Amino acid sequence: MLRKLLKQRKSFLQRIISQCNRWLAKTPSGSLSISCSRGVASFFQTSGTKNRRRLSKINDSLLIQSLAKKDYYSSIIPIAENELNTIDKLLEIKENQTLGMVYENLHYERQKLLTPVEVTRERTLQQWIEMSCTPSEPESGKYYIPTERGEMVRSMNEYMIANALFHNGVPYKYEYPYEAINGKTLHPDFFIKNKNTGGEFFWEHFGMMDNPEYVMNSFMYKINLYAADGILLGKNLIATFSGGKYYLDEETINRIIKEYLL
């Protein structure tokens, strides 16, 4: 998780430094000085310690803005470069040099004598995968569809989501029981683990949004119940919708998986 975030930050810093340098290469000479008297600002183009030229707010507005950007970008670059150097040093730490790997590299008999101060992402993921999961009981007369992973789901939309998660290598549990804050047990369509960040998500598909009774008794009920437990849309709750002439497509499913789960 940390390495992924560091790499994302590194790419961002590199892009900012490059953009600032390109812009600074074509900036006017000097820097901007501003003085205020009785609430009125005056602008000056300065060069060295003595050269100072007053700028007109009207006639020199573009120059004033360019000099302001020049000073701002010039201040950004050394800060960004310093942070970039720190990130590079952190990224030099190899995966097998983490605290979690100290425990993993011990003999099995020694591991049994200890409680690790940190567990590796791989061990945490494996423990999550091994958690038992019993979906809610099938309803008599309902039609069920086998997914490519082998479980039986209740709709074509769930079938599409399950197969997309499977193809992308995203670990998930179908209808994993969740005890809500009011003591009721819900069975979210999918309980999902992000392998890279360790984050956990619920994914609910609401498939009859053209039915007002369904919107009230299923959609609104679940969304509010989740929110009361700190499970929020856009954070750790994913919701997709269909109904009437609106349907869920594979492109949307894969876009969501890429944004939250990879």
The pTM for the full model equals 0.64
What pLDDT is recorded for position 5? Answer: 83
Regions of the chain where pLDDT drops below 70: 1, 49, 94-96, 133-143
What pLDDT is recorded for position 126? Answer: 85
What pLDDT is recorded for position 136? Answer: 60
Beta strand 185-186 pairing with 178-179: antiparallel
Backbone angles phi, psi at 205, to 5 degrees: -110, 125
CA distances from 146 to 4, 170, 213 (A): 34, 18, 28
What pLDDT is recorded for position 143? Answer: 61
What pLDDT is recorded for position 227? Answer: 92
For the chain, the distance separating the N- and C-terminal CA atoms, rounded to the nearest angstrom, is 11
What pLDDT is recorded for position 95? Answer: 63
What pLDDT is recorded for position 142? Answer: 64
What domains sit in the chain, N to C, each tagged with a CATH number? 2-93 (no CATH), 131-260 (3.40.1350)
Alpha helices in the chain (DSSP H): 2-24, 61-91, 99-104, 108-111, 121-130, 156-167, 212-214, 221-228, 250-260
- b/e for 6-42, b at 16 or more Cβ within 10 A? beeebeebeebbeebeeeeeeeeebebbeeeeeeeee
What pLDDT is recorded for position 96? Answer: 63
Contacts of 68 (CB under 8 A, 6+ apart): 32
What pLDDT is recorded for position 89? Answer: 87
